[in-house]
Amino acid sequence: MAMSGGLDSSVSAILLKEQGYDVVGVTMKLWNYPPSCSLHSSACCDVDAINDARQLAVSLDIPHFVLDFTKEFKDIVIDNFISEYLQARTPNPCILCNIHLKWKALIEKAKQLDCSAIATGHYARIKYENGRYFVSKAKDATKDQSYVLWGLSQDNLAKTIFPLGDYTKAEIRKIAQAKGFVKLAQKRESYDICFIPDNQYRDFLKEHVSDIEQRMPCGNFLDTNGNVVGKHKGIAYYTIGQRKGLEVAFGVPKYVCRINSEDNTITLGDKADLLSTKMQVRSCVFSKYEQIPADFEAETKIRYRDYGHKSLINQKGDELNVTFIEPASAITPGQSAVIYEGDDVVAGGFIDICE
Residues annotated catalytic, as ranges: 97, 194
Annotate 136-203 with DSSP letters as a single string: E--S-TTT--GGGGTT--HHHHHTEE-TTTT--HHHHHHHHHHTT-HHHHTPPPPPSSTT-TT--HHH
- Return phi, psi of residue 165, to 5°: -60, -30
Q: Which of 106, 92, 100, 70 is nearest to 193 (CA)?
A: 92
Strand 219-222 and strand 228-232: the pairing is antiparallel
Q: Is 21 helix (H, G, I), strand (E, B) or coil?
A: coil
Residue 75: other Cβ atoms inside 10 A: 13
Rounded distance between C-alpha atoms, residue 161 and residue 33, angstroms = 29
Mind spelling out the 3-state secondary structure of 77-126? HHHHHHHHHHCCCCCCHHHHHHHHHHHHHHHHHHHHCCCCCEECCCCCEE
How many helices and strands (H and E) does the chain possess?
Answer: 12, 16
